[in-house]
Each structure stands twice: as structure tokens, then as C-alpha cells.
Amino acid sequence: MRSLLFVPADSEKKLDKALSCGADVLLVDLEDSVAPASKPKARETARGFLAQARQIEPRPRLYVRVNQLDTADIDADLAAVMEAAPDGILLPKCSRGPDVQHLGAELGVYEALNDLPAGSTRILALVTETAGSLFGMGTYAGASPRLAGLTWGAEDLSAALGAETSRAADGSLTAPYVLARTLTLLAAAAAEVPAIDGIHPGFRDLHGLRSECELARRDGFSGKLAIHPGQVEVINAAFTPSPEAIARAEAIVAAFAAAPEAGVISLDGEMLDRPHLSRAERLLARARREPRA
């Protein structure tokens, strides 16, 4: 999952347009981008869109951002969209691993009611939207086989903290949000699932977006959330391994395969050890999963 695009569930026009924008995942949004009075209609629109989009091949993966666990809205959300068998659910304001377990149990019921394969609906957890959630980052490892990744966001967290902004004058994240981003990356690594970087709010600032993507890829994130179709191409390009990177990774894997007992090898004048092999194998696995940009 390189690019994950939020699309308001109450806009048929935006949903239809999003299908052809090249995003790996569409996040059909029933939460923040939909006004409370519009949620019932948005659920019906989302269900119809999911049912139609599932018939298209190839297609992006289809996830739904439901409302948070401690609201009545989430039951109505799941009752509506699970009939159309989404690929996954994005859980907002997730505070700890048991929240993922709770949602997984509910999904199991809806899968049974709708004759869907048990465990087929994945969960992407948004894990930094409250101050307390930062203290639960170590609880996602082993929480659920449904867990498909962890992602983070600064917007709700900044509101919870009473902050004026989450970014400095130069556009960089301020300290609390650097911490939240880093903890998400570490928690995802501990849980052995992908880490997805948060949004870049300036949707016309493609230069800034490209810089953020490059930093995120460098640090270990495997994709990034998007809020506009115009961001998708930049994100996909940044998180698609280059031919040069693939060739280098293949050479590292081949060199270790030729010396299976070695802990350290020499390649092109550089000493490489087992962590280099692990990184190369992960890059090649990602290259096999994702299409070329």
C-alpha cells in the first residue's frame, strides 16, 4: 500500500473519480469528512459504491473509515458497508491493541451475517489521534491477524493537545508530532505490519509532498495517506522501488545466497551484514507487491 486516498463517502462524483486516479487504496470516509446529518445518506452511497467498485478489475483496494468505537455511528457504519464486502476498515482514534481486537470481533459477526470468509476484512489502525493513544503503542504486536498496518495523523492530536498548529513556519512537524510519527513507525515494526505516513495538508504543494515522501521512505514507512487525487502520482513514485534499488537488492540477496554460512560479505567494496540482507529482502517483497509507477 503506497498511496491511500481519503474520499468523502457522501460524494458520488468524488468516489467515481477516485477509482481511476491510480491510488492503491481508497479510504471511503464516513467519519471526519461527513457532517453528522449527512451520515445516513453517506452510508447508503458508500455501500452502493463498494458493491459497484468490487466488480471492476483491476481496482484499488477498498477500505472504509468508520466512526470511532465509542460511538453509536460505528454500528450503523458496519451494518451498511459490510454487506458490500470492503477489503478493510480504517479504525480512527484507535488507542491500543484491544481496540483492534474489539473491532475484529465485530467484523467476525458481520462476515458471518453476510457469508464472507472469516477474517477476510483487514484493519488499518489510525493510532495517534488522542494524547492517551501514544501510551498504548506497544500493544499492537499480536493484537489481531487482521491488522494490515498502522498510520498516524496530526490533526486530531493537535486539537486534543490544544495546539495552535502541528507545523513550524517552514512546514516541518513540531516536536509532539515528530514523536507521534516516530512511535507509529516503531509500533508498526514491532507488530510486523506496514507503517503508513500521515497526510501532507498542502495538496497543491507537490514539492513539499515529494520531500515528505522521500523522508518517510528513508525512515521505513511504506506508504502515505493522501487527501487529493493530485497527490497520488507523487506518492506512488516515491514509494515504488527504483530499478537501481531493485538491482542492488537482488545483488545483495544473491551474494548472501552464494555464501550461506557467512555473516558478513563484501559487495562492490562495501562490507554488508545480515541487516543489509533483511532490508534487501523487504525491498524486493515490496517491489513484487506493488505495480511499477
Q: 10 Å Cβ neighbour count for 263? A: 9
- Cβ atoms of 23 and 226 closer than 8 Å: yes
Residue 293 has a pLDDT of 42
State the average pLDDT over residues 105-124: 98
User: pLDDT tens-digit profile of 67-77?
Assistant: 999 999 999 99
Give pairs for 163-166: CB < 8 Å, separation 24+: none
**DSSP letter string, 125-180:** EE--SSTGGGGGGGG-TTS-TTEEEEE--SHHHHHHHT-S-SB-TTSPBPHHHHHH
- Cβ atoms of 263 and 273 closer than 8 Å: yes
State the average pLDDT over residues 214-228: 96
Q: Higher model confidence: residue 276 or residue 162?
A: 162
| Paired residues of 125 in beta bridges | 91, 150
Domains and CATH numbers, the chain: 3-239 (3.20.20.60), 243-289 (no CATH)
Whether 292 shows a pLDDT value over 60: the answer reads no
Mean pLDDT lowest for which of 37-46, 117-126, 270-279? 270-279
Whether 278 shows a pLDDT value over 90: the answer reads no
pLDDT band at 263 (very low <50, low <70, confident <90, very high): confident
- Give pTM, 2 decimals: 0.89
CA distance 188 to 208: 25
User: 206-219 and 232-239 are packed helices; what angle lies between their axes, rounded to 10 degrees?
Assistant: 30
State the average pLDDT over residues 107-133: 97
State the average pLDDT over residues 183-194: 97
Nearest to 204 by CA among 227, 173, 224: 227
Whether 19 shows a pLDDT value over 70: the answer reads yes
Cell numbers 510519527 correspond to what residue? 181
State the average pLDDT over residues 146-162: 97
DSSP letter at 96 equals S
